[in-house]
């Protein structure tokens, strides 16, 4: 018997000494696994620095994603356009660098179109030309101009237009980020351009010669920072009425709305081919979180299936170049379908993860209300320890007082919840892992929300180091990064008396789509 115990003891000691390099034992006494940073299903560059999504266009079965890229470092530097393609918006194939800086300057943000009618005359083969319209940021002058590049082989190779720039600088430092669309009624190309504190609208028959039509925004919207990365597109509401949506990002400061730093607002209104008029002066945000910036929508999808799909850069200029890294920095948000809803006499946008996400859901270890005992506390379950999952739940807003869901491990955690007294959703990442790299990272992220029905659907997407909260089918969204030091292990409702007002619909792991 004594010998048996001795063998057991030796075995135990052996097992303990066999912890992998990744496993550590902080003061809690339990084994913790160092957390790795790469998300499972959000786009990230293989190496080095990325910011804004650019030139998003669908062509011949492929979604193209270009992005602001610095291939020689982990902080912002001379900008290139990186390129990736996907059939389903989740499995991306890297295509290397599409556009390099040139004599006109760095390659800043912009868009891409498919010139089906060959209006610019760039076609020289069987494919419709893919034309990129981007900002060149003059390296010595600091002045910004708009330029063109084109591809006749589905984005594989690119030629810069010989007569760049196609729009020169009128003497304004901030003059950038052209988004170009084809306007069917006037049979013209329309460009929206961010010019310091407003948007300028230009038209062109051929992508090369542009006429200024109007200005928008000096006296409306939020102005706590320079305006950047606009988008303009039509969308039909739930009553069949077509409206136009203008999206504008703004580079704010620490005290900017809604939660500090970079954020993106939108306007709903009418567009007659020349000018945009908003139907209301309310300030509306694409995302009430803190890590969704410079987002715009894919071009040319209507030819495919009519959806309007949005993608943002999942970071914030306040701390983007200081966040923990492992050889690459910054990812994109989950691709989101944009829908227009009429609410009384006003319109609002809803943003929901695109349906392709369903194909990544792993049903193997699914957790549902029936499989949870003890109120609502899930510990050491593979769906949670895996770190990438979707949690969908219904909340009875007539009964619930304070809801706090937390997920974490023995020493660090994230909190997300709702305070009925001030009608506010919140994300608290103040003790989520690495938080000291920037003073603002610990701030509580807030989103006002007054429910209009008795039950409310809450969908939470977690992906290793990000959370995206979709409130009421995406009526409001909150996105935020977090950087655990160790893998998280649990997911629970903090106040068990409140858990009876919450019904878990499902909690499923999300499979890896980005394999690196």
Q: Which is nearer to ligand FRU, 79 or 207 (CB)?
A: 79
Q: How far apart are CA 130 and CA 40, in angstroms?
A: 30
Closest distance between ligand FRU and the C-beta of residue 132, in Å? 13
Chain centre to alpha carbon of residue 414: 19
177 lies in the site for ligand FRU, by CB under 6 A: yes
Query: Which of 32, 37, 79, 245 is the binder for ligand FRU (CB under 6 A)?
Result: 79
Query: Which of 131, 190, 191, 229 is the binder for ligand FRU (CB under 6 A)?
Result: 229
Q: Which is nearer to ligand FRU, 106 or 488 (CB)?
A: 106
109 lies in the site for ligand FRU, by CB under 6 A: yes
176 lies in the site for ligand FRU, by CB under 6 A: yes
Q: How far apart are CA 102 and CA 83, in angstroms?
A: 17
Q: Which is nearer to ligand FRU, 88 or 174 (CB)?
A: 174
Closest distance between ligand FRU and the C-beta of residue 64, in Å? 18
115 lies in the site for ligand FRU, by CB under 6 A: no
349 lies in the site for ligand FRU, by CB under 6 A: no
Q: Which is nearer to ligand FRU, 251 or 474 (CB)?
A: 251
Q: Which is nearer to ligand FRU, 68 or 472 (CB)?
A: 68
Closest distance between ligand FRU and the C-beta of residue 227, in Å? 9
Closest distance between ligand FRU and the C-beta of residue 294, in Å? 4
254: DSSP letter: T
151: part of which helix (H) or strand (E)? strand 144-151
Residues 259-298 that bind ligand FRU (CB under 6 A): 293-294
| CA-closest candidate to residue 297, choices 307, 308, 305 | 308
Cis amide prior to 460 (ω within 30 degrees)? no
Residues 288-347 that bind ligand FRU (CB under 6 A): 293-294
Closest distance between ligand FRU and the C-beta of residue 364, in Å? 39
Closest distance between ligand FRU and the C-beta of residue 251, in Å? 6
Q: What is the per-residue binding string for ligand FRU in 123-142, x denoting contact by CB under 6 A?
A: ------------x-------
68 lies in the site for ligand FRU, by CB under 6 A: yes
Q: How far apart are CA 115 and CA 503, in angstroms?
A: 49
State the sign of the Cα–Cα–Cα–Cα dihedral 499, 505, 509, 513: negative
Give 59's contacts (C-beta < 8 A, 6+ positions apart): 114, 128, 130, 154, 155, 300
Do 368 and 391 meet the contact criterion of CB atoms below 8 Å apart? Answer: no
Q: Which is nearer to ligand FRU, 38 or 176 (CB)?
A: 176
Query: Which of 200, 228, 412, 475 is the binder for ligand FRU (CB under 6 A)?
Result: 228
| CA-closest candidate to residue 131, choices 111, 117, 145, 146 | 111
Q: How far apart are CA 19 and CA 33, in angstroms?
A: 10
Closest distance between ligand FRU and the C-beta of residue 76, in Å? 6
Closest distance between ligand FRU and the C-beta of residue 290, in Å? 14
The residue written with tokens 């009876």 in the block is: 500
Q: Which is nearer to ligand FRU, 226 or 348 (CB)?
A: 226
Query: Which of 43, 66, 67, 108 is the binder for ligand FRU (CB under 6 A)?
Result: 108
Q: How far apart are CA 390 and CA 377, in angstroms?
A: 16
Closest distance between ligand FRU and the C-beta of residue 177, in Å? 5
Q: Which is nearer to ligand FRU, 177 or 475 (CB)?
A: 177
Q: How far apart are CA 400 and CA 368, in angstroms?
A: 20
Residues 443-472 that bind ligand FRU (CB under 6 A): none
Q: How far apart are CA 57 and CA 442, in angstroms?
A: 36
Number of residues that bind ligand FRU (CB under 6 A): 13
Of 21, 22, 52, 174, the catalytic one is 52
Give 276's contacts (C-beta < 8 A, 6+ positions apart): 199, 201, 214, 216, 232, 244, 246, 267, 269, 270
Cα angle 486, 312, 167; round to 5 = 140
Beta strands in 298-355 (DSSP E): 309-314, 328-329, 331-332, 336-343, 346-353
418 lies in the site for ligand FRU, by CB under 6 A: no
Q: Which is nearer to ligand FRU, 109 or 432 (CB)?
A: 109
Active site annotation includes 52 = yes
190: part of which helix (H) or strand (E)? strand 188-195
The residue written with tokens 């194909």 in the block is: 359
- For residues 144-182, one letter each, b for 16 or more C-beta atoms within 10 angstroms of the residue's C-beta and e for the rest, the string is bbbbbbbbbebbeebebbeebbbbebeeeeebbbbbbbb
Catalytic residues, by residue number, are: 52
Q: Which residues bind ligand FRU (CB under 6 A)?
A: 51-52, 68, 79, 108-109, 135, 176-177, 228-229, 293-294
């Amino acid at each position: 018997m004594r010998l048996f115990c001795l063998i057991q003891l030796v075995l135990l000691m052996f097992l303990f000494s066999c912890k992998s390099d990744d496993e550590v034992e902080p003061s809690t006494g339990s084994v913790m696994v160092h957390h790795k940073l790469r998300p499972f299903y959000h786009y990230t560059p293989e190496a080095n620095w990325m910011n804004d999504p650019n030139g998003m266009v669908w062509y011949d079965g492929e979604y193209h994603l270009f992005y602001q890229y610095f291939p020689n470092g982990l902080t912002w530097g001379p900008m290139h356009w990186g390129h990736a393609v996907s059939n389903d918006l989740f499995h991306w194939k890297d295509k290397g660098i599409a556009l390099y800086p040139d004599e006109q300057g760095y390659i800043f943000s912009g868009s891409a179109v498919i010139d089906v009618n060959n209006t610019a005359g760039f076609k020289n083969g069987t494919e419709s030309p893919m034309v990129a319209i981007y900002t060149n940021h003059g390296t010595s002058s600091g002045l910004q101009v708009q330029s063109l590049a084109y591809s006749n082989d589905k984005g594989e190779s690119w030629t810069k237009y010989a007569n760049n720039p196609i729009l020169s600088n009128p003497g304004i430092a901030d003059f950038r980020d052209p988004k170009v669309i084809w306007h069917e009624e006037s049979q013209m190309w329309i460009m929206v351009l961010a010019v310091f504190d407003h948007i300028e609208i230009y038209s062109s028959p051929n992508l090369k010669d542009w006429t200024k039509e109007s200005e928008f925004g000096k006296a409306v919207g939020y102005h706590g920072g320079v305006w950047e990365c606009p988008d303009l597109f039509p969308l039909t509401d739930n009553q069949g009425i077509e409206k136009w949506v203008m999206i504008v990002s703004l580079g704010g400061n620490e005290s900017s709305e809604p939660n500090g730093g970079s954020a993106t607002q939108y306007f709903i209104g009418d567009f007659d081919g020349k000018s945009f008029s908003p139907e209301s002066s309310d300030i509306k945000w694409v995302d009430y979180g803190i890590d969704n910036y410079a987002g715009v929508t894919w071009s040319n999808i209507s030819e495919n299936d009519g959806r309007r799909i949005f993608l943002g850069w999942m970071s914030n200029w306040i701390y983007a170049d200081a966040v923990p890294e492992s050889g690459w920095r910054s990812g994109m948000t989950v691709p989101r379908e944009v829908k227009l809803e009429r609410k009384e006499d006003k319109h609002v946008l809803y943003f929901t993860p695109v349906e392709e996400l369903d194909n990544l859901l792993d049903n193997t270890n699914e957790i549902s209300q029936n499989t949870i005992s003890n109120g609502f506390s899930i510990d050491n379950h593979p769906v949670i320890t895996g770190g990438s999952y979707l949690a969908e739940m219904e909340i009875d807003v007539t009964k619930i007082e304070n809801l706090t869901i937390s997920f974490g491990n023995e020493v660090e955690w994230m909190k997300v919840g709702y305070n009925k007294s001030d009608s506010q959703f919140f994300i608290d990442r103040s003790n989520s892992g690495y938080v000291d790299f920037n003073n603002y990272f610990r701030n509580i992220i807030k989103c006002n929300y007054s429910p209009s029905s008795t039950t409310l659907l809450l969908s939470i997407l977690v992906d290793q180091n990000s959370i995206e909260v979709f409130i009421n089918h995406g009526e409001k969204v909150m996105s935020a990064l977090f950087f655990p030091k160790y893998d998280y292990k649990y997911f629970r409702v903090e106040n068990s008396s409140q858990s009876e007002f919450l019904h878990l619909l499902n909690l499923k792991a999300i499979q890896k789509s980005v394999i690196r």
